[in-house]
Structure 1
Amino acid sequence: MAASTVSFPGKPRVFILTDITNEPDDAESFCRYLTYANQFDTEGVVAVTSVWLRDKVAPQNLHQIIDGYAKVVDNLNAHVHPDFPYPSADAVRSLVRSGPPVYGMAAVGDEIPLSEGGQLLLERLLAPDSRPLWVLVWGGTNVLAQVLHHIRHRPDAADLRARLRVYTISDQDDTGEWIRRQWPDLFYICSVHGWNQYSQATWTGISGDTPSEQEGADRSKITKEWIKEHIQVGPLGAEYPDYMYIVEGDTPTFLYLIQNGLGVPEKPSYGSWGGRYLPTSLSHPRGHFSDTADEVVGKDGRTYISGRATIWRWRNAFQDDFAARMQWSLTGDFAQANHHPIISINGNRGLSPIYIEAEAGSTVTLDASGTVDPDGDELTFKWYQYREPSATQTFHTWEVSDLKISPVGPDGKKVEVEIPPADKSCILVREKTMLPRGEFLHLILEVQDSGTPQLTSYRRVLITPVNSSFGK
């Protein structure tokens, strides 16, 4: 039965830096991460310091959570494609290291040796692997700073930096800003705001709703009662602590990489469960990516525009997804749990984006009738335009042209999509300059099953409008 579940085009390489024990959220995030560990090649988990944990590191707490994972990994493997199994607990244990037990820049200098965490990061960076290495930072960045400083004089230093992808949960020591100044070409996702003003950051959309958004963001699945019932279950759930401030503040770093058909990790502007970000400077389009906003209709029917909304708009889906995986951890019986729909559009089955070129003003037909559910559940189909990623000059509300989406038949599996005319879709709005081709128009198909908890899969269709009359 597991062979009928979704498979992946590959696995991202992941290296985690965590100030675990600073507060409970790192432990919470690591519990969730392990339930997705079959999607990733985890290459390091390093306990580090931060402004809130300045002079010690706590790798022992990572081992404690891995002990809980050891008791459920066989059950988890019964629910995933056999080509993408979960790593053994021993394999995960072998990746745990310590960073330097000092704050920030005190760990960086010509005469300061690499910590054991820094040594592992350097080893993985130098490995003969063409895939990017994603460094997910849940605390301070001094281990990363150590390695970047260590390689700075190598003739291949720029090539090595080009292999890195960093997503850090704001700046939690004084090395983050230093890294960005020293190497502005480094792919680096980070919310920037007043020091310690975390409520302004995109990543807080995971659960830390500001008062102005609490009526719009659905909070029903981040309460302690919901978490106790759906997450703190079984041996791994027993390692998931109650939250102190917000739930899982570090989780957006890997939600961004989840392979569910929505996100495109090399394109932060596209948006995903881990949020949406834009280049801070056009001088370095592959450098620092910082907060941007989505316009989202909340549960109260009002419209909200914020960076946090780029995450909380998906909250019910990603919380149910986690709850389903915790159910997997309780049983090795495939029939006793729910599994993800597998989307097929026009015969293209899988998770990767679908690219279509279409004449401006024409109509294309998209048919998802080939979509299947491993459990035989009824499926609900929802097609919509994700407008924000298409905006390149200003805010999307007036720059991006509308796709007209018309269902064909009552079940929603098939739609006709009308591409806007060239004077709407193949134009630089500010300059009123016509183009031979317009920007991608992003169409999302969201398929939800009727199982418990309900699971959602996505496909992104990227439509390029073509202006065949350009220059004539």
Structure 2
Amino acid sequence: MTFRYVNLCLTLLLLIQGSPAFGQMEKPRVLVSTDIGGTDPDDFQSMIHLFMYADKVAIEGLISSPFGEGRTAAIHHIIDLYAQDFSLLSTQARGFPDPESLRNITKQGAISSAPFAGYSNATEGSEWIIHCARKESEQALWVLVWGGLEDLAQALHDAPDIEEKIRVYWIGGPNKKWSVNSYAYIAQNHPDLWMIEANASYRGWFMDNESPDHLKGDAYYSRYIQGKGAMGEALKDFYGGRIKMGDTPSLAYLLHGDPDDPKGESWGGSFVPIDRSARVVFDGNSNRTDTVSSYATLEWRFKGPEIRIPPDSACFYMEIWDQVWPGYYLGDGVFGIRYSPKRSETGSYETTSELPALHGLKGGYTSTNPWPGRASREDFQLGSHWYSDRPDPDLFIEDQQGARTIAQFREEFLLDWAKRWEWLAKKP
């Protein structure tokens, strides 16, 4: 065997070993938009989980987009905990990002819901989405949305070219209710976006009624987490250690399964393509006999006086389920408001306004499963890469559509996480 032949073989081996096909697949590029510190503390748990698997993905952005009081300080708090556990994690696996690098990519996003238009002004967060999406890369940027769509809608409005450069996994459901105007903007103006809209499947992550006892309630915390690292100590501050992490399926989707195939099985669920998003427009009041799909976009149009106010100024309000939603003047004496029911329910509403024609309007609706329900001419028409919860009756858990596609793996992914908690066990 000649020296020249040996050298050629070594060169080829190095090329093979350096290629993604040799077990070195490129890490998914990930940007997380979270309402951490806002209305639900489960994002703190999800952020801890993200950092404990941060060797598996390339985190390019952490955006604070809260409904409530949360700000970037909440993300920095979890980074500080991660920094205390960083050395132990790094001895177990290569690729954990330096804590300072995570601080540098933490940005402030929108701090209030979008007006009727679905977007308003650019934020540090929306601009960072654009920045990351426009990076030279053969990979798409995975935008994992754990809250509202305001920053994503703003980014798409300001830079429509990024639509083809990103893939979105959105935890919808209640977040759709809070972010319905931004959702409507995206569905109407960017129907070709690659989107997983998980309105209910994600609940399979924490619906534990079918789990073995050691995974239920706070049993998982006491058995696998307690006494392990700064992040483990802090996790009990959220839900008393009971595992919720309703946003984590967006990350889990990238950890186990084929992300290019939403119809396949993964820790983050299995989904079906939908070519329309349910939408109903009421000309005036609706009543409880008006049946819509759960998670649909409900839109009321009311007649009133022609007035002069700044565009997208709220001028009346609608109370539904003890929560208040703003309505807007659309011009030509027409006023509009949107809402999205997060489950099967029979709801009622009443309006308040300084405008007599918009004050004291009452009505209702009934929402039913499955989503997206029967077709309507008012539906948003979607492209070929929009996916949502599987409607098969046997995949429901209680009234949560598609939840079993995640719950079936609950023991598997929680025990995998338990192995990582062992990395943080106190050393003698």
Unpaired runs of 5+ in structure 2?
Answer: 1-21, 277-380
> 1:255 Cα shift?
0.3
Correspondences of 1:36-51 after superposition (within 5 Å): 36-50=53-67
Instruction: From 407, 415, 426, give the equivalent of 1:312.
Output: 407
Q: Output aligned runs, 1:85-96, within 5 Å.
A: 85-96=95-106
TM-align CA RMSD: 3.0
For residues 405 and 65 of structure 2, the distance between their equivalents in structure 1, rounded to whole angstroms, comes to 28
Any conservation in 2 of the 1:187–1:287 contact (CA below 8 Å)? yes
Structure number with the higher helix fraction is: 2
CA contact (8 A) 1:217 1:313 kept: no
Equivalent residue number for residue 72 of structure 2: 59
| 8 Å contact kept, 2:79–2:99 | yes
Deviations 1:195-216 (A, max 9, x none): xxxxxx110000135xxxx3x4
* Change over 3 Å in CA distance of 1:222–1:25 after alignment to 2: farther
| Change in CA separation of 1:285 and 1:108 when aligned onto 2, cut-off 3 Å | closer
Matched, 1:78 2:91: yes
TM-score (norm 2): 0.63
Contact 1:15–1:45, Cα closer than 8 Å, also in 2: yes
Do 2:201 and 2:389's aligned partners in 1 also have CA atoms closer than 8 Å? yes
| Worse overlay, 94-103 or 268-277 | 94-103
* Equivalent residues of 1:108, 1:149 under 8 A apart: no
In the TM superposition, what is the alpha-carbon distance from 1:305 to its structure 2 partner? 11
Instruction: Give the whole-Å Cα distance in 2 for the aligned partners of 1:165 and 1:191.
Output: 14
Q: What SS does the corresponding residue of 2:31 show, helix, strand or coil?
A: strand
Give aligned-pair identity as a percent.
29
Residue number in structure 2 paired with 1:137? 145
In 1, Cα distance between the equivalents of 2:218 and 2:186?
A: 37
In the superposition, relative to structure 1, how do residues 76 and 297 fare at CA in structure 2: closer, same or farther (>3 Å)?
same
Pair 1:64–1:107, CA change in 2 (3 A) = farther
Matches of 2:427 and 2:138, distance apart in 1: 35
The structural deviation recorded for 1:57 is 3.4
SS in 1 for 2:234: coil
Q: Which structure exhibits the higher relative contact order, with contacts defined as CA atoms closer than 8 Å and separated by 6 or more residues? A: 2
Structure 2 residue identity aligned to 1:173: S
Q: Which residues of 2 match residues 22-421 of structure 1 at below 5 A?
A: 22-50=39-67, 53=68, 56-80=69-93, 82=94, 85-105=95-115, 109=119, 112-152=120-160, 157=161, 160-170=162-172, 171=176, 172-174=178-180, 175-192=182-199, 201-208=200-207, 214=209, 216-218=210-212, 220-232=214-226, 233-240=228-235, 241-243=237-239, 247-258=244-255, 260=256, 263-281=257-275, 286-292=384-390, 307-330=402-425
Paired AA for residue 287 in structure 1: H
In structure 2, the residue matched to 1:370 is none
Distance 1:177 1:140, change over 3 A: same
Secondary structure at the aligned position of 1:38 is classed as coil
The answer on whether the counterparts of 1:46 and 1:117 sit within 8 Å (CA) in structure 2 is yes
> For 2:395 and 2:169, how far apart are their aligned partners in 1?
27
Is the 2:229–2:426 Cα contact (8 Å) retained in structure 1? no
CA distance in 1, matches of 2:146, 2:124: 18
- The match for 2:306 is none
Distance (whole Å) between structure 1 residues aligned to residue 157 and residue 427 of structure 2: 47
Check whether the contact 2:214–2:223 (CA below 8 A) recurs between aligned residues: no
Amino acid across the alignment from 1:116: E
